[in-house]
Every structure is written in structure tokens, then in C-alpha cells.
């Protein structure tokens, strides 16, 4: 990045590893160097990872710095372009991917989302300041154009990209089965990732059951049903009982944020099916599981359990295309994910509040 700091700007930050350390810090405001753009931040979304970082369970500051500016879900607008950048012009809406490569073979081959050494940096998460500030300088290679019609909800593209990768990976893996034609899917969890997964799989024509703990009706169950999926509260109906009344589950996307449903998901997955795990669980939970039965059913049924994290630039691009398509299929539905809009970086303390029924909090920087 360009070393020419011209001014400073506020950023909402934590001291990683230290709970209750949310504060406003000052970071340099830079001019873009060759191949870079400067993005003026409009909206920043808050997710479970941010909350874990805020609670001190995760995250690392850039080298030799004490604070980490948080935020990795972003919609912004190009404010300046560096030498040699022809793909972007000032005023254009954009978002950016989260992870920056280390030198591992996967990163070197252009797939930092599949990083092998895990020495990557992630914006607002590990080793690199995030987007909860006024402007960032970014290598144009990581920047993704967003059409103006998504100006209210484009901040959702990052969480959507996570399920885009999940489904893309599942489809790649399932090329192992010539006759695979997925019909029935289950999504576990009804937070932003579970809801995005529900819309994505519905928009691909699958029958979808979305299961999360809290029995409906509530906003999340309404969103699920508006997309033509079925919502089930697992506090009322156990997953095994639910699966017993359904056709074989070809695809399960686990996005509850908990490790507990993972093993039940393995039990209920249909033969030749694929289970994608998306919950990056901190903690040290231990569970007793029916190990022989799960192992037997995975083996006999040729089932795949697939861990999946982060997302590639192509997943962001798929996210842009799909969000545009969902707006045509279900106008305004994705926008209902955003349950709270906080005005300005100064409202940062409200990030800590988790009002009942909150799905996605967005900080409107400007």
C-alpha cells in the first residue's frame, strides 16, 4: 500500500484478545498508489465474527499495532484511482473481498480463500485493518463493482458470497456423482448466512427446509416462507424427526454458529448427499455423539462433509448477480435482513447491543 499518509481518520477498533475494548482509533488516510483505488466507505455490516472479535475470542491487529479496525462487510464508492487503474472510476459503487494471500501454493495459484498455511491476512479480522472507517486504500484486484440499484443492500454481498462459495464448492464436489440432481436441501440456521442460503437454493429451484432453534412466526421465518421455503423451529421439532418426514436431503448447509447440530446433520444427510459446514466455532465444546452410526451412514451412503470458509472474488461476483436476481424474484426481501441501521461511526457502541430478533446490523458511515 502507498506509504504517503496525508491525514488521519477515525476507525472503530478493538485491542484483539481483550474483551470490552471497542474504541475509536486514528489511522492514516492514504492516497492510492499504482494499481490501487481509494474507497469511501458507505455501509459496514456486523456479523458473528465481529462480535467474537469484540468479545476478545478472535482477531489479530496488523503487525506492530495495538488496535484492529473491525469490519469486513462493506459497500463503498470509489473516491480516487491510482496510476494504471482503468476498471474503476470515481463515484462507482464497490465492495471488496476479505482475505489477502500468503505465499502458500493455493494463494499463489490465485485462491486465497483456500489458503493452506493459514498465514493470510483478513480485513478487519486478522492482520489488516477493516472497513469501519471513512476510506480505505485497496488493491484494485480485490475490488468488485456493485450496480447502483443495489445501493441500499449491497452491504449484504459479503455474507452472500460465503454461501455462494458453499454451494459452488458443493456442486464441484458432487461432480463425483454422474446422476446427481439435487432436489431437497436443508439450511440450518436463520441468521444472515442461513437466510442468504435459503434464498440462493430457492432461486436455484430446490425445495428448501430452513431449520433454526426459535419456533416461528418471526421475521426470519417470514423471510424463509416468502422465498417459498419451509421454516421449522428445532426447539419444537428435533432434526431427526423432521428429516424422517422429508424426502432424502441432497444438500445441507450448516450455518447455526454452533457445533452441536453438525453431528445430527451428518445423521440425517441423504445418500450421496453433501453437508457443507460454515460455522467457525470458537470455544472448546465437547459432545457425545453416536459415532458408529454416523460413521456407518457416511460410509454406506457415500456422503461428503465439507468444511468451507471465506469466499473468492468470483463468489462476490455471483453474489452481485444473485442479489440482483432475488430483487426481481422477491422485491425487497433481502433488504429485510437488515434490521438495524446505525447512523455514523459515532454510534459504534450500539454494535454491542443485540436487540431481540436482530438479523443484520449495518453501520451507515455516510
Number of residues that bind ligand BGC (CB under 6 A): 11
Q: Which is nearer to ligand BGC, 45 or 261 (CB)?
A: 45
CB 248 to ligand BGC: min, Å: 30
Closest CA to 160 of 305, 281, 324: 324
Instruction: Select the residue interacting with ligand BGC from 62, 145, 280, 301 (CB under 6 A).
Output: 280
CB 76 to ligand BGC: min, Å: 17
Q: Which is nearer to ligand BGC, 242 or 320 (CB)?
A: 320
Strand partners, 69: 13
Question: Does residue 98 bind ligand BGC (CB under 6 A)?
Answer: yes
Cell of 357: 430478533
Q: Which is nearer to ligand BGC, 51 or 218 (CB)?
A: 51
CB 153 to ligand BGC: min, Å: 17
C-beta separation of 241 from 217 below 8 A = no
Q: Torsions phi, psi of 356, nearest 5?
A: -55, 135
Cell of 299: 460410509
Question: Does residue 312 bind ligand BGC (CB under 6 A)?
Answer: no
Collect all residues with Cβ–Cβ distance below 8 Å to 135 and sequence separation of at least 6.
9, 29, 38, 39, 40, 41, 76, 79
Helix, coil or strand: residue 52: helix
Question: Does residue 75 bind ligand BGC (CB under 6 A)?
Answer: no
Please state whether beta strands 184-188 and 207-212 pair in parallel, antiparallel, or not at all (unpaired).
Answer: parallel
Question: Does residue 125 bind ligand BGC (CB under 6 A)?
Answer: yes
Cell of 351: 454494535
Question: Does residue 47 bind ligand BGC (CB under 6 A)?
Answer: yes
Q: Which is nearer to ligand BGC, 200 or 249 (CB)?
A: 200
Helix axes 157-173, 313-329, angle to 10 degrees: 110
Q: What's the rounded Cα separation, in Å, for the pair 108 and 104?
A: 6
C-beta separation of 125 from 59 below 8 A = yes
Question: Does residue 162 bind ligand BGC (CB under 6 A)?
Answer: yes
How far is CA 131 from its chain centroid? 15
Segment 232 to 271, residues that bind ligand BGC, using CB under 6 A: none
C-beta separation of 315 from 10 below 8 A = no
Segment 292 to 311, residues that bind ligand BGC, using CB under 6 A: 309-310
Q: Which is nearer to ligand BGC, 266 or 308 (CB)?
A: 308
Question: Does residue 329 bind ligand BGC (CB under 6 A)?
Answer: no
Q: Which is nearer to ligand BGC, 60 or 80 (CB)?
A: 60
Instruction: Select the residue interacting with ligand BGC from 36, 77, 79, 122 (CB under 6 A).
Output: 122
Binding site for ligand BGC (CB under 6 A): 47, 49, 72, 98-99, 122, 125, 162, 280, 309-310
Amino acid at each position: 500500500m502507498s506509504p504517503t499518509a496525508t491525514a488521519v481518520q477515525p476507525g472503530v477498533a478493538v485491542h484483539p484478545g481483550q474483551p470490552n475494548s471497542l474504541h475509536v482509533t486514528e489511522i492514516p488516510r492514504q492516497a492510492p498508489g499504482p494499481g490501487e483505488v481509494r474507497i469511501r466507505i458507505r455501509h459496514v455490516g456486523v456479523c458473528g465474527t465481529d462480535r467474537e472479535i469484540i468479545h476478545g475470542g478472535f482477531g489479530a491487529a496488523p503487525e506492530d499495532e495495538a488496535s484492529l479496525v473491525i469490519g469486513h462487510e462493506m459497500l463503498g464508492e470509489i473516491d480516487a484511482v491510482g496510476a494504471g487503474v482503468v476498471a474503476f472510476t470515481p463515484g462507482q459503487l464497490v465492495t471488496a473481498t476479505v482475505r489477502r494471500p500468503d505465499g502458500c501454493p493455493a494463494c499463489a495459484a490465485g485462491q486465497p480463500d483456500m489458503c493452506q498455511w493459514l498465514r493470510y491476512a483478513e480485513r478487519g479480522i486478522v492482520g489488516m485493518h477493516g472497513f469501519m472507517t471513512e476510506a480505505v486504500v485497496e488493491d484494485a484486484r480485490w475490488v468488485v463493482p456493485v450496480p447502483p440499484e443495489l445501493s441500499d443492500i449491497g452491504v449484504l454481498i459479503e455474507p452472500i458470497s460465503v454461501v455462494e462459495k458453499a454451494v459452488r464448492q458443493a456442486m464441484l464436489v458432487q461432480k463425483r456423482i454422474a446422476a446427481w440432481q439435487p432436489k431437497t436441501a436443508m439450511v440450518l440456521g436463520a441468521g444472515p448466512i442461513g437466510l442468504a442460503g435459503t434464498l440462493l437454493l430457492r432461486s436455484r429451484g430446490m425445495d428448501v427446509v430452513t431449520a433454526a432453534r426459535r419456533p416461528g412466526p418471526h421475521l426470519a421465518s417470514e423471510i424463509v416462507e416468502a422465498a417459498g421455503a419451509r421454516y421449522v423451529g428445532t426447539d419444537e421439532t428435533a432434526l431427526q424427526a423432521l428429516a424422517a418426514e422429508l424426502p432424502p436431503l441432497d444438500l445441507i448447509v450448516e450455518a447455526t454458529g454452533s457445533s452441536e447440530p453438525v453431528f445430527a446433520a451428518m445423521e440425517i444427510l441423504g445418500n450421496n448427499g453433501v453437508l457443507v459446514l460454515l460455522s467457525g466455532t470458537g470455544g472448546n465444546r465437547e459432545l457425545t455423539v453416536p459415532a458408529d452410526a454416523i460413521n456407518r451412514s457416511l460410509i454406506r451412503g457415500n456422503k461428503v462433509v465439507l468444511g468451507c470458509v471465506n469466499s473468492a472474488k468470483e463468489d462476490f461476483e455471483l453474489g452481485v448477480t444473485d442479489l440482483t436476481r432475488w430483487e426481481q424474484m422477491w422485491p425487497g426481501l433481502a433488504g429485510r435482513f437488515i434490521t438495524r441501521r446505525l447512523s455514523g461511526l459515532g454510534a459504534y457502541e450500539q454494535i454491542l447491543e443485540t436487540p431481540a430478533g436482530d438479523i443484520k446490523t449495518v453501520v451507515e458511515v455516510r
